[in-house]
Structure 1
Amino acid sequence: MLDWRTFSSAKGNVIYEDPARIGRTLTTNDPPRHDHLRRLIGAGYTPGRVKAHEERIGTLVDDMIASLDLADFDFVSQLAAPLTGKVIGSLIGVPDEALEQLRVAVDEAFIPTEEYPEGKGLKEVFAFMMDLVAHRRGKPRDDMLTAFLHAEDAGVSMSDEEVAVTCGSILAAGFSSTAHQMSNILLALHSNRAVLRQVLDDASLIPAMIEEGLRYDVGTLSFGRQTTREVELHGVIIPADSRVMILLSSANRDERRFAEPDTFDIGRSDRRHISFNVGIHHCLGSSLARLEMRIAFERLLARLGEFEIDLQRSARVHSLNFRGFRKLRVRT
């Protein structure tokens, strides 16, 4: 993952890449274009912009929890997905009334069907974003999309199409990755009652719980790369121009790195997982994801206490890219 010269992202960063993304996003470019894009996107996706949303995240979480029947609810559709969607939508500048339509489009993009064995892709999301880009050109606002439109780095800027595809990709990641990660952590708590009791007794352990949850059961399973030359790894020759898959979930449980890797241990001293990628493609949204998860779990667990998960009425996502749940039924 650190050797981008050998393992290139220029032909896509997932195994079955949407052609509309290739060369138009941060994650589907190598340097030097990647470096320009990272600085351009970083100019809009700032720590200050994320921090300014902390109060809004808390309000959203409180309102959503207040509307739940805690005796029996779906954690994904009633909390994790709408929370992550509204937060990233607000940052980008997507109207609230469009979020549900976009959430469905994102879900369908990564679910294989007979008609679309590799998923439908994000064309519907990108088309929506192109319309929004055109609207923002005439009516700028204080949001990330407008910031991307006006960002420059050494005379380089983003085209309207790059802004639309970048915003669509950020929205999809916000909808999918973080919501799946939250559902995986909740399941890990349910399956490890001693850890659940620890965090119920001491909420200051929640950040450590989140980091271990990211390592233990990551919501983003893999990334794709293309070899630019023949390379040998662990005695295996990989030819040049080969499509390869980087399994984050496997690396995070590497017994050469982590003691008892299959144990959910929030007291683990080494938490250096790779769930947010490493190197030049480290996730720009990692601080936002951590903030959302911390606030959500602090407030939900304080209200929920001990809980059960009804796996018979829950449903997993089936995807090469993501691991999580479409439905996760919680009971108290």
Structure 2
Amino acid sequence: MSDNVNSVFCTIVPPHVLDKLARADDSARADVAQRTLEHDSQQRTRRRVTALRGLAAPAGTPSDSPRRTIYDAEHRAVQPGRKVHAEGDAPSKDATVNRAHAGLGATFDLYLKAFGRRSIDDAGLPLDATVHYGEGYNNAFWDGSQMVFGDGDGDIFLDFTIPVDVIGHELTHGVTQYTANLEYYGQSGALNESVSDVFGSLIKQYSLGQSADQADWLIGQGLLGPGIDRGVALRSMKEPGTAYDDDVLGKDPQPGHMDDFVRTSRDQGGVHINSGIPNRAFYLLATRLGGNAWERAGKVWYATLTGGQLKEDAQFADFSRLTVAAARTLYGDGDEVQAVLKAWEEVGVPTS
């Protein structure tokens, strides 16, 4: 891993969503969103200083079994909080603790059984998570060493441990941190977010035993609360831009093609927005190949992320070319390579 950890504070709810909520006429909704935004901004600045010092979480011992520890922040913005559950403990009376424990395990299982990776760093990194973080905190994040989950406000967002793909998404930021370490800005940042969506979705599909055709390809399905009338998730990999269109949340801004690429200085250069383009490319590849998406499409993406050729400032076209090369290395000049080429063509990203 590079000494410069670029992706040390990554949240599942994009800033543009919280910005919209912070301007709501409902003062209670606006207050919760503003507090979440202020918290995330402060954390991002603090973690950037940590990154520049070259600090990272200590590695563990490679193992085929996870080592999970869950902490309770008891509705304060503290980390890690009070230890409430360790590996091997009986199920907790707290459903949030149990969901966090299970989600960490589902992520560990997918990486081990599909890709032979032993934890986030491939060296047995213990998996720590803090639950019940903050008061009505409307987000979940990876901070460079552990997972943190808010309970949501119960209105716009529910408990962030509910969707297993959210857990897998955030932990995958850690995998990226320990491999390609993609810079969290612009196209490289959108790739960072997309990789997390891809593997978050694969973790959900693996845990549910779903094929690519059976999957919903939604990120954060089940997270939106009763205050949202027209929304199903945070993002759709199948049809970027269709996850929500709601008076409260606004319209999902994700593009699914380079013709609609969004140029902005907000959201780290649109990392949560333009990730829809490589997201759709992966969806197209996985459904074209059929079967279990982690078996062929997932292996191509994993080989690209971990192969050592993906630079920290990689653009979409760099990533696409490397996926073609990875498919060829893994499968020869067969259907897989043609499927990769076609997927990128359909979203307007060149491969040569």
State the TM-score, normalized to the length of structure 2. 0.29
State the TM-score, normalized to the length of structure 1. 0.30
The structure number with the bigger radius of gyration is 1
